[in-house]
Amino acid sequence: MATTAAFPATESVGITIDGKFPLLRWLGGTEQSSVFLTRLEGDPAQKAVIKFSPANALDGQAWMGEKARNLSHPNLMRVFHSGRWKGDTVDRLYVVTEYADEILSDILRSRRLTRDEAREMLEPVMDALDWLHGQNLVHGHLKPSNIMVAGERLKISSDRLHVHGKPGWTSTSSGKYDAPEANLLAMSPAADVWSLGMVLVEALTQAPPRWDGLGDPVIPPSIPAPLSGIARECLRVDPAHRATLRAVRDALDPALVPAPPERTSSRFRLPATIAAGVLVAGGIATALFIGFHHRTSSPAVVPTAVPTAVAPVQVSPHPAVAAPPPVAAASALPRPKVEARAASLVKSVVADQRIPDVPEHIRDGIQGHIRVGIAVEVDAEGRVANATVDSPGPSRYFAKQALDAAKAWTFRAAQVDGRPVPSRWMLQFLFGQTGTTVNATETNP
């Protein structure tokens, strides 16, 4: 395990903080923080998370502490306790929060959200931001790693907030999701609107928008309306010209902007109370493990659905969110006839698969699900010629199990005009407490 400035992970598992919170397992960390699995005093069955930061690591007026325990909103992560702990020469602050079953940033490592999933994500996030703004608070660091599912609700972090009107981040700590004015001016709700726009673009494209630091960020043309207009208005460099949360809600009004259903090859679990019918996807890391066994079992491949073409929808633009300009009509000039014969294509199919046989004592330690993506090149005889880790997930152990298993797969080769040809596949391994499944998608031809 890595060692961070906040806490030496390799030496800390087994320590009990202030006689109340045992460090059961290291979950991850950065240069300024370390996160461990713990349990609540008096309720050992309830899992929780304890996060450490150096006492001098807080920026500007970043706000955390016992006051956070008084915050109560269904879309905010609960804060159970916070304090200061000095175990050696380094003074550390810590906060104990609700345990997250899934984290948006983990999901975006393997796939983007669909339009419908992104719309459903926005509502609870905006509910939480609206409530914070009403308490004279600004979230100040909204990003995919701070958007989580806990129990059956989508929530945002609440352990580190800002007071409205106080200075924001220092120049050394601003990140790609922070508003341009965050390290210069007092924090305001407009800063959260900017971060919401950045998160929305990344959720739909797996990358933040391009921004030169001068003009407004460039919204990718692949983002559909009304989400493209919402992102554009959230990401105005001038905070006075940014959309409000109310304007975003109005632009999402289903009566104004109908959203045809989408189908997706992967599944992201939004709670049933938020989005019925949107199912489970990747989850949070637990630890690195050793040892595994292979087995050949009954097929566990989940065929990938092919997205259905959707006709464009004409939308009346909302005053606060400009709709994208209409696409120019195609030329009416006649086109010359081209005599061409379409090649006869037979897709490749899975002939035999190997599923990693993860020991039960390791599966029991998985919290939520762990997703690993493996890119596979198949030769004209249906054998795996090369396999590489495309999306490693949070654990090297599970990435290795998925890679070793993928190399043993065989396929019935694809054919073009009756001749076998190479193909490419993406295998998404999903590890959970009850077993492992694989979503297999042919990407070429």
Please enumerate in sequence order all residues whose Cβ is within 8 A of that of 175, keeping only pairs 6 or more positions apart, or say none: 141, 143, 169
> Which of 116-125, 218-227, 278-287, 372-381 has the lowest average pLDDT?
278-287
**pLDDT higher than 70, residue 265:** no
Question: Which pLDDT does position 24 carry in this prediction?
Answer: 87
Other CB atoms within 10 Å distance of the CB of residue 276 = 9
pLDDT band at 152 (very low <50, low <70, confident <90, very high): confident
pLDDT over threshold 80, residue 70: no
pLDDT(155) > 80: yes
Closest CA to 268 of 437, 75, 106, 399: 106
What pLDDT score was predicted for residue 31?
65
Residue 70 is classified by DSSP as G
For residue 360, what are its two tokens? 């039960």
User: At CB < 8 A and 24+ separation, what contacts does 311-314 make?
Assistant: 311/260, 313/225, 313/257, 313/258, 313/260
Complete domains list, the chain, with CATH: 9-98 (3.30.200.20), 102-251 (1.10.510.10), 344-444 (3.30.2420.10)
Please tell me the predicted confidence (pLDDT) of residue 309.
Answer: 38
Please, which pLDDT band fits residue 87 given cuts at 50, 70 and 90?
low
Looking at per-residue pLDDT, the higher value among 95 and 45 belongs to: 95
Q: State the amino acid at position 237 in one-letter form.
A: V
State the pairing for strand pair 423-432/384-391: unpaired
Q: What is the mean pLDDT of the segment spanning 166-173?
A: 49
Angle of the 115-134 helix axis to the 189-205 helix axis, nearest 10: 160
At residue 2, the pLDDT reads 39
Per-residue pLDDT band for 339 (boundaries 50, 70, 90) equals very low
pLDDT at 288: 26
Distances (CA, A) of 255 to 95, 252, 276, 296, 318: 42, 9, 19, 51, 12
At residue 307, what is the residue type?
P
Mean pLDDT calculated for residue range 394-417: 89
- Overall average pLDDT of the 341-370 stretch: 82
For the chain, helix, strand, coil in percent to 5 are 20, 30, 50
Q: What is the pLDDT of residue 422?
A: 94
**Which of the pair, 402 or 19, is modelled with greater confidence?**
402
How does DSSP classify residue 243?
A: P
Instruction: With cut-offs at 50, 70 and 90, classify the pLDDT of residue 166.
Output: low
- pLDDT in the model for residue 343: 61
DSSP bridge pairs for 155 = 148
pLDDT at 142 over 80: yes
pLDDT at 332 over 90: no
Is 70 exceeded by the pLDDT of residue 252?
Answer: yes
State both tokens at 284.
């949070």
pLDDT digits (tens, 9 = 90+) for 11-32: 677 888 888 888 888 887 766 6
Is a pLDDT exceeding 80 seen at residue 65?
no
Q: Is 73's pLDDT higher than 60?
A: yes
- Given this model, what pLDDT does residue 285 score? 33
13-22, 118-127, 169-178, 256-265: range with lowest mean pLDDT? 256-265
What rounded mean pLDDT belongs to the chain? Answer: 75
Return the pLDDT at 407.
Answer: 95
Instruction: Name the percent of the chain lying above pLDDT 90.
Output: 30
Residue 64 banded pLDDT, cuts 50, 70, 90:
low
Range with the poorest average pLDDT among 2-6, 316-320, 432-436: 316-320
Q: Residues 97-129: pLDDT tens digits?
A: 889 888 899 899 989 999 999 999 999 999 999
User: In terms of Cα–Cα distance, which of 365, 444, 367, 368 is closest to 411?
Assistant: 444
